[in-house]
Every structure is written in C-alpha cells, then in structure tokens.
Amino acid sequence: MKLIKIITSWQVIMALQLLVSILLAFTTFKLNVLPFRYALILFIVLLLLLVGMFFFTKSKKQVDGGKVAIRPIVGKIISILLSIVMLIASSMLMKTEGAIAKITGNDTQTTVISLMTLKDSKFNSADDLKASTPVGVNTIADKTNIDKGLKALKDEAKFTKKDYSTFKSLSDDLYNGKVKAILVDNAYQSVLETYHEDWSQKTKTIWKYEIKEKVEDTSTNAKVTKEPFTLLISGVDSRGDVTEKSRSDVDMIITIDPTHHRILMTSIPRDYFVPIYGQGGKDKLTHSGLFGTACVEKTIENFMNINIDYNARIGFQAVTKIIDAIGGVDVYSDKAFIPWTDHGVRIKEGMQHMDGRTALAFARERKTYTTGDRHRSANEQAVIEAILEKVMKPSVLSQYSSLLSAIEGTFQTNLKSSDITSLAKMQLDKGGKWTVKKSILYGTSKKATGGLMMPNTELYYNFPDQKSIDANTKYIKEMLKGEDVQIADTDSNVTAHMD
C-alpha cells in the first residue's frame, strides 16, 4: 500500500510528465524537421501543460468533511494520459529518425551469387553435389565476385567446374543437361531471361552467397534548401533487397530549384546505347546498373556532360508502398488499357485515382503504346509528379514517419539525413506549389549486335540523337543557374518521336 501510495503521488506523476516532456522536446529538436515557430509553439505548450498539471494534481492539505478531493485525482489521470501520448510521439519521432538513417548514406552494395538448377532437378542444396557433378560458371562476367562465390561453395561442397565465356552457352547447357547447375551473379538473371523467356519458371536456386561491400560516395555538399541540385532516380526491379545489384530500368534526372520552387524531370531511355563507365564498351544504359548505381551516375554524367549531386535507388515495390502510404494519387491516362505487367489492373481513360498497384502498372506500361518506351517514360514522370504533389501537402508531409517506414528496404539514397529533414522543414515552413517541367531524351530504336554484355546477340537499342542530348544538357544547366527553363515541344511531347 505504501509503495502504491508513493507511485500514485502527485510528485511522482509530475516527475514522469516532466521527463517525458523533456524526451519529446529533445527528440523533436534532434530530428530538426519542425520549423522554428512550430517548435517554439510545441515547447511553450509542453511548458504550459506541465505548469497547469502541477497546480491541478497537487493535493490539498485539508479535505472538507473528510471527503476525497476529486480535482487531484482527475489531474493525475490527465497527466498520466498526457505522458502516454508524449511517450508515443517521442517513440514515433525516434522511429522516423531510424528510418531516415536506414535509407540515407547509400554506401552499401550487395552482390548475391546463386547456385541454380532446373526445377525438376534432384539437387535441392549444395550438399547434394558430388565431385563429378558439372557446375557451369561464366568466367568473364563479374569474375571477382564469382571467384568469391566459388571459394565459398568449395568450402561446402565438391563439384567439377566447367568454364563458359557467354551466358547463352551457359544457360543453353543447363537446359540441355550438359551441366547440372550453374553459379551466377543474381544481377545477370535478366540477361539469362533474354535467352530463355521461361527462365524464372524453369529454374530454382539451391544455394546463395552474399557479398556486401562499401561503395564510393559520389554525393556532393549541395545546399539543398538554398541552391539548385540534381538527383538521379534509378528504378530497379530487384528480386531481393534494394542494395542488390540489378539493371537500372528507370533512369531519370530530377533537377530541383528550392528557391523558386521549380522541378525539372529529365528521362533517359533505358535502351540508350552509350559508353558504360569504366567497362570499355557501349551498351544499353540499363545494363550500367549491373555495375552499381555509381556506374549509372557516372555513365550519364559522361555522355551528358553534367554533374549529378545525389542519387536515389528505388525498388519498384517502393512506388507501391509510397503511394499506398499517402492514400493514392490522381493521374491522367490518355487511353484505357489492361497493363501487360499486371492483368488484374484496369486503367481508365482520363483523370483517375490510383492505388500503388495500379500506379506501378501504369508507370511500367509500354506495349500498349505506339511510342513504346517514350510513353512509358512520360507515365513514370506523371506518377512521380503526382507523388510529389501529394507529399508536398502539409497534411501528408507531417505524417512522413509512416511513409519512411513503409519504404524501408526498397529505397536507398546518398542524400544525407539532414538534407531530407531540411527539405521537409522548408516545405512545412514556406509551403507553396512547385512548378514541374518534363523532358524525355530521344533517339532511334533498332535491332543491332555489339553490346558490351551480349555482343553476339541481336537486341533492340536506342541510338542517341546528339541534338537531344545537347538540348537536355542545356535545360539542366539553365535550371542549375536558377533560370526558368523553356522546354521545346520535341523534348516534352510524348508523340514527337517514335521508338
């Protein structure tokens, strides 16, 4: 009884409220997302609540007629409830800080080496291999990581290694039984699917080895709330964590002018045939992602003659999660269709509200359009613009804790935590709409051989138009000078160029 009396005393309850108030004030200050005037209001409210509850909960020395005073009891209950609410708020702020920390500081890259067999194979693990079991290995592509995978596999199993110089011969021999398993970097699964459309249905993974490594930090120290800067969006259809190497299927440069509230989206065709940085040859831009996000960034910097300040690597599932977390987006479609990537979705003609699944299918669509990839780029831009328009609203921006938690594991950027909180703080403080302009690079699409990754295979490539590159470089550089860019119709019109 004595212990309960001590715990429920007004001194203990007020001490608890004081501690929780300090915790909330500290976490708010540390996260640094609230504009000064809002933070000041919060601190004043916390102080007033503390003072008010002090006088409300303090017991009288005498109680008339021997009756228990109601006011102190009610005050204690209110104080406890306030402490619980503030504790929950502090927890959410700490969770937000943790979520930001996980998606920023893009310095880790994961390579997954997989041992694969046909689905009907009797092999279900590395232990099933025998010394005479032939295992195929491409000794040319990503040799360093493959060698690490081989060493790890040899520590667990015995087998006979068979060398290959192309993915076509490697996959063909797995299909025809000349090898019983193959060791491959997961990043090249898409290459294998080029040779065998049923690859994912016909094969299985029986062993994996992960290689995590630190990557070069290519970010600059741009003052993101005071000067224009560029952000590369690299959209990946990774089968695992967003840190895993894979093709860069969406390549978009977003130039942001925070002082004038202007945004320029510059989309680059994923099949653009360009020199791949550090690899000594040309290939589709999408294949530069197989060598990491830094390679994508430097490849674009070189052929466009620009500097990219930051990058963001986004898994396609991040799009679904972001849109669902903000309650959907409103997007315009110029025609009705059923997306080839998701037959369970129906796109209507005109403006419509889309959930995450629908918006992703809309953004990935190309086969229904005569302009193919160019129209897909326009759809991607439309979805991103709709997301930006929604998250810029204070009602959504103030709830970005749940948004950050939703995209964990599917989004990675080399923006600093302070950059993200500063941008959110700026928008909460100043508000206002942003002007968004869009441009798409163009070229000529045709089948050809000679690509770096698959030199002997005839594939569709988009051969760049130098005039388009020069024009878009000019737009970006003008934006970086704070100028109001005027986009030519040939660069912004979806139907201006046919794939």
Contacts of 392 (CB under 8 A, 6+ apart): 427, 433, 434
What confidence score (pLDDT) does residue 142 get?
81
What confidence score (pLDDT) does residue 63 get?
43
**356-364 helix and 316-325 helix, angle to the nearest 10 degrees:** 140
What confidence score (pLDDT) does residue 442 get?
95
Compute the distance between CA of residue 48 and CA of residue 355 in angstroms, rounded to an integer.
42
Q: What is the pTM of this model?
A: 0.88
* CATH 3.40.630.190 given to domain 229-496: yes
Give yes or no for a contact between 292 and 109, defined as CB atoms under 8 angstroms apart: yes
Quote the Cα angle for 230-235-237, to 5°: 165
Superfamily of domain 109-214: Periplasmic binding protein-like II (3.40.190.10)
pLDDT tens string 319-374: 899 999 899 999 999 999 999 989 999 999 999 999 999 999 999 999 999 888 99
Q: How far is CA 85 from CA 24, 79, 88, 89, in A?
A: 10, 10, 5, 6
Contacts of 424 (CB under 8 A, 6+ apart): 33, 397, 400
What confidence score (pLDDT) does residue 397 get?
67
What confidence score (pLDDT) does residue 62 get?
41
Contacts of 190 (CB under 8 A, 6+ apart): 246, 247
Instruction: For the chain, list residues with pLDDT below 70.
Output: 1-3, 5, 59-69, 106, 238-240, 397-400, 495-499
DSSP sequence for 278-313: TTTEEEEGGGGGGG-HHHHHHHHHHHHT----EEEE
Is 408 in a helix, a strand, or coil? coil
pLDDT tens string 144-189: 999 999 999 999 999 999 999 999 999 999 999 999 999 999 999 9
What confidence score (pLDDT) does residue 403 get?
77
What confidence score (pLDDT) does residue 106 get?
67
What confidence score (pLDDT) does residue 399 get?
67
Compute the distance between CA of residue 437 and CA of residue 266 in angstroms, rounded to an integer.
9
Backbone angles phi, psi at 231, to 5 degrees: -135, 120
Q: Give the HSE-up count for residue 228: Cα atoms under 13 Å, Cβ half-sphere.
A: 22
Burial class (CB in 10 A: 0-12, 13-18, 19+), 423: middle
DSSP sequence for 152-176: HHHTT---EEEEES-HHHHHHHHHT
Determine how many CB atoms are found less than 10 A away from the CB of residue 171. 26
Query: What six digits make up the tokens of 384?
Result: 């991103």
Which helix (H) or strand (E) element contains residue 453?
A: none
The DSSP output letter for 244 is B
Compute the distance between CA of residue 155 and CA of residue 142 in angstroms, rounded to an integer.
20
Query: What six digits make up the tokens of 397?
Result: 């921006």
